[in-house]
C-alpha cells in the first residue's frame, strides 16, 4: 500500500511543475495547495495570483474564495480583476490550473452544462468564472483530476475553456495567443502532455499501481503515448510532510 492518497500525488506532481520565479494564477482547493507546496519546497519566489486581485500573498491558511481576505494577506499588491486578467493577456503569467466536468483529447474543458440545449440544460454548472480567461491568456494550463471514461470524452457537451480546440493550429487560428495552451493533465492514474503537432493528449508517465490498460480504459478517447513511458515519481517524504503539516494541516483538501 502506498503511504499517500491520489490527491496527495497529484498535488505533489503539480507543485514540481511550478519553477521558482514563475507566476501562477490559482483557485481554491488543490491548485492552491500545489502552489503553496511549491513555495515551501523548491520555489520560494514563485508568485501566486488570485483573479479578484491578490498578488503574492503570504497565505496564512487555505482561502475559501479567490476573493477573500486570505488571498491578499501580507501581499505585495491587492489589485483588481482587470489588473490580474490584463497581466495574463500581456503574457506575464506562466501557469494556471483549471477543473471541469468534462475534458476532451485537445484539452478543451467543460464547466458550464451537461445536455444539448443551452436554454434548458440537464445539469447547470457555474460556467466559466475566470476559467476561460485563464485558459486563453496564461502560457500553460494544467488540470488535476480523477480520471474516468465519462470525464475524459470527445463528446464534450460544451467547450467552456479553450484547450487546443480542434487540434493542429486551430487554437491560434481562432485568435488565441500564440504559444499558449494546455500543458499537463495530472490524474490519479497518469501524467499527460500534448503532442507537438496534432495537439492530442499524450501519456508521459504512469502513476505507481496503474497499468497502461487502466489509463486507456478509463479514458473515453484514444490516447497517444510518449516513446518512452516512465513511472511517475511518487511523492517524496519531505513533500508529504510539508503538504500535511504546513500546507493543509486540517486536511480540508487532501483529507477528502
Partner 1 sequence: MSTTLKENIEQKENALISGQNDLFTNPDADAARQFFRTKSRALKPKLSTVQEVVKTMLNDGDYIAIGGFGANRIPTAIIHEIVRQGKKRLGFAGHTSTHDFQILCAGECFDRCDVAYIIGLEARGLSPNARRYIESGKVKLTEWTNATLSWRLKAAAMGLSFLPARNILGTNTFQYSAAKEILCPFTGQKYAAFPALFPDFAAIHVHECDVYGNAHVYGASVSDQDLAKASKRVVLTTERLISTEKIRQNPEATFIPFWCVDAVIEVPYGSYPGNMPYEYFSDEEHLREWLKVEKDPEELKKFIDRQILGTKDFYEYLELNGGIEKMKKLRAAELLIPGR
* 48/96 Cα distance (integer angstroms): 10
Q: 130 or 235, CB closer to partner 1?
A: 130
**What's phi and psi for 51, nearest 5 deg?**
-65, -25
99 binds partner 1 (CB under 8 A): no
| Contact (Cβ atoms closer than 8 angstroms) between residue 242 and residue 41 | yes
Kindly tell me which of 91 and 209 has the beta carbon lying closer to partner 1.
91
CA count, 13 A, side-chain hemisphere, 22: 20
User: Exactly one of 4, 16, 47, 72 binds partner 1 (CB under 8 A); which one?
Assistant: 72
Q: How far is the CB of 127 from partner 1 (least distance, A)?
A: 5
Strand order across the 201-206 sheet: 77-78, 54-55, 47-49, 23-25, 95-98, 140-145, 181-187, 190-194, 201-206, 224-231
Return the bridge partners of 144, or none.
186
Residues in contact with partner 1, counted by CB under 8 A, come to a total of: 57
Q: Is 18 in the site for partner 1 (CB under 8 A)?
A: no
Per CB under 8 A, 119 contacts partner 1: yes
- Examine the residue annotation and report whether 19 is marked as an active-site residue of this protein: no
Q: Cell numbers of 86, please?
A: 490584463
34 binds partner 1 (CB under 8 A): no
CB of 2 to partner 1, least distance (A): 27
Q: Which of 8, 51, 213, 246 is catalytic?
A: 51
Yes or no: say if 181 and 151 are a contact pair by the CB < 8 Å rule: no
| Residue 208 touching partner 1 (CB under 8 A) | no
* Binding span for partner 1 by CB under 8 A among 132-140, 201-209, 225-233, 236-244: 132-140
* 96 contributes a contact to partner 1 by CB under 8 A: no
Minimum distance between the CB of residue 137 and partner 1, rounded to whole angstroms?
A: 6
Long-range CB contact pairs, 85-91, < 8 A, 24+: 85/51, 85/130, 85/133, 85/137, 87/23, 87/49, 88/25, 88/133, 88/134, 88/137, 88/138, 89/137, 89/177, 91/139, 91/177
Segment interacting with partner 1, rule: CB under 8 A, options 4-12, 48-56, 92-100, 227-235: 48-56
Measured between alpha carbons, how far is 252 from 256 in angstroms, rounded to an integer? Answer: 7
Q: Does 168 bind partner 1 (CB under 8 A)?
A: no
Taking CB under 8 A as the criterion, the residue among 24, 46, 53, 189 binding partner 1 is 53
What is the smallest separation between the CB atom of 190 and partner 1, expressed in angstroms? Answer: 26
Element (H or E) spanning 220, and its range? none
CB of 201 to partner 1, least distance (A): 18
107: contact with partner 1 by CB under 8 A: no
Q: Supply 150's cell numbers.
A: 465519462
Interface residue list for partner 1 (CB under 8 A): 27-29, 50-54, 60, 63-69, 71-72, 78-82, 85, 88-89, 108, 112, 118-121, 123-133, 136-137, 158-162, 165, 170-171, 174-177
Active site residues: 51
Amino acid at each position: 500500500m502506498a503511504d499517500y492518497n491520489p490527491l496527495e500525488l497529484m498535488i505533489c506532481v503539480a507543485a514540481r511543475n511550478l519553477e521558482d520565479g514563475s507566476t501562477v494564477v490559482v483557485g481554491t482547493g488543490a491548485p492552491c495547495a500545489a502552489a503553496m507546496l511549491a513555495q515551501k519546497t523548491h520555489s520560494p519566489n514563485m508568485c501566486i495570483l488570485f483573479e479578484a486581485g491578490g498578488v503574492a500573498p503570504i497565505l496564512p491558511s487555505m482561502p475559501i474564495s479567490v476573493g477573500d481576505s486570505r488571498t491578499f494577506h501580507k501581499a505585495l499588491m491587492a489589485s483588481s480583476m482587470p489588473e490580474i486578467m490584463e497581466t495574463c493577456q500581456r503574457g506575464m503569467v506562466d501557469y494556471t490550473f483549471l477543473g471541469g466536468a468534462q475534458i476532451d483529447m485537445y484539452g478543451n474543458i467543460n464547466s458550464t452544462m451537461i445536455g444539448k440545449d443551452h436554454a434548458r440544460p440537464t445539469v447547470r454548472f457555474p460556467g466559466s468564472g475566470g476559467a476561460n480567461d485563464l485558459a486563453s491568456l496564461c502560457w500553460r494550463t494544467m488540470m488535476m483530476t480523477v480520471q474516468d471514461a465519462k470525464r475524459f470524452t470527445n463528446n464534450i457537451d460544451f467547450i467552456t475553456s479553450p484547450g487546443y480546440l480542434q487540434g493542429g493550429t486551430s487554437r491560434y487560428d481562432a485568435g488565441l495567443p500564440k504559444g499558449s495552451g494546455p500543458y499537463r493533465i495530472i490524474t490519479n492514474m497518469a501524467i499527460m502532455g500534448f503532442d507537438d503537432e496534432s495537439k492530442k493528449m499524450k501519456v508521459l508517465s504512469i502513476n505507481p499501481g496503474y497499468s497502461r490498460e487502466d489509463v486507456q480504459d478509463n479514458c473515453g478517447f484514444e490516447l497517444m503515448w510518449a516513446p518512452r513511458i516512465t513511472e511517475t515519481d511518487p511523492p517524496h517524504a519531505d513533500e508529504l510532510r510539508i503538504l500535511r503539516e504546513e500546507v493543509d494541516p486540517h486536511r480540508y483538501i487532501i483529507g477528502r
